[in-house]
Amino acid sequence: MQEKTYYIYILASQKNGTICTGVTNNLLERINQHKNKIIKGFTEKYNVNQLVYYEVFHNINAALNREKQLKTWKRAWKLKLIEDFNPSWRDLYEDIYN
């Protein structure tokens, strides 16, 4: 049986801009959906489509718990998490896509 992979991710509109947290089992597809505004709502309205942070899980419950945890964090904590992982706030989508 093949092990599934799950991701929690943080998208941003720009450095220190609007951010959004999510969970998926297909990171490339989900980010592509955000970039092409296929997913309607918050990310479309505020142009939040740059992948600035992600974590990999092999257990859906662990991924969902981590997403819930991050959603309760203060904004400053999330910004520090992004800065530690991706100091230049590069869009990591291209790194993963290639």
Ramachandran angles phi, psi of 14, nearest 5°: -175, 175
pTM of the predicted model, to two decimals?
0.94
36, part of any domain: yes
The residue segments making up the domain with residue 42 are: 6-93
pLDDT at 2 (0 to 100) = 66
Tally the domains of the chain: 1
CA torsion, ordered 27, 40, 37, 78, to nearest 10 deg:
-50
Share of residues in the chain with pLDDT > 70 (%):
98
pLDDT, greater one: 96 or 62: 62
- The CATH number for 46's domain is 3.40.1440
DSSP state of 52: E
Q: How long, in residues, is the chain?
A: 98
DSSP one-letter code for 37: T
**Residue at 88 is within a domain:** yes
- Give the pLDDT score at 8: 98
Domain membership of residue 42 (yes or no) is yes
98 in any annotated domain? no
Q: What is the pLDDT of residues 23-58, one digit of tens each?
A: 999 999 999 999 999 988 999 999 999 999 999 999
| Other beta carbons within 10 Å of 13 | 16
